[in-house]
Amino acid sequence: MTQSAESWNSYLDKHGPAMVLLARQWVPSHADAEDVVHDAFVRFWPARNRVQDPAAFLFVCVKRCAMDWLRARNRRQHHQNVAGEMTANCSSLFQTRLEQDEDRQRVERHLANLPPPQREVIVLHLWADLTFQQIGVVAGVSVNTAASRYRYALEALRGAMQQELDR
């Protein structure tokens, strides 16, 4: 074992349980605390020789990583809450006049029946006004695949709506 590996192992052996315990003060689970300790150790190791008290700096890294983890979790929760509120407050994909409500509901129903990749392309092209090049980037497909999905989706929508009118 090299000098660096021995030193690395000795730091973990000596301080590992205390680092996890410290991280556990801010994160909800033991596994999360271990993740925080890992991140802290990665942050600590390259800088350990440039600080006056490496052991103290190691625990500073643990605390900072735990705080970063906590802030990230809070941001995620906030974004999820906002998205949930927006979804709850949106009654439809469209904003239309009252007399168009029946048509809107029919289009939304048929749109919901499309395969998700086709629905994604329709929404991105018609409502987000993205080009097929941009849609290809978003969907992770070629421009031709994005255009084909759009064409197939339009054909499916036309067919479903015509079939409904023919009834």
Domain boundaries, the chain: 3-88, 98-166
Topology of the domain covering 3-88: Rna Polymerase Sigma Factor; Chain: A (1.10.1740)
Specify the CATH architecture of the domain 98-166: Orthogonal Bundle (1.10)
- Residue 124: phi, psi to the nearest 5? -65, -35
The answer, as to whether pTM is greater than 0.85, is no
Report in angstroms the alpha-carbon separations of 38 from 59, 78, 92, 114, 120: 12, 26, 45, 44, 38
H-run or E-run covering 1: none
In tens digits, the chain (167 residues) has pLDDT values of 454 555 878 878 888 888 899 899 889 999 999 999 999 999 999 988 898 888 888 888 999 999 999 999 988 887 787 776 665 555 555 555 665 677 777 878 888 889 989 988 888 888 778 889 888 888 899 999 999 999 999 999 889 888 887 87
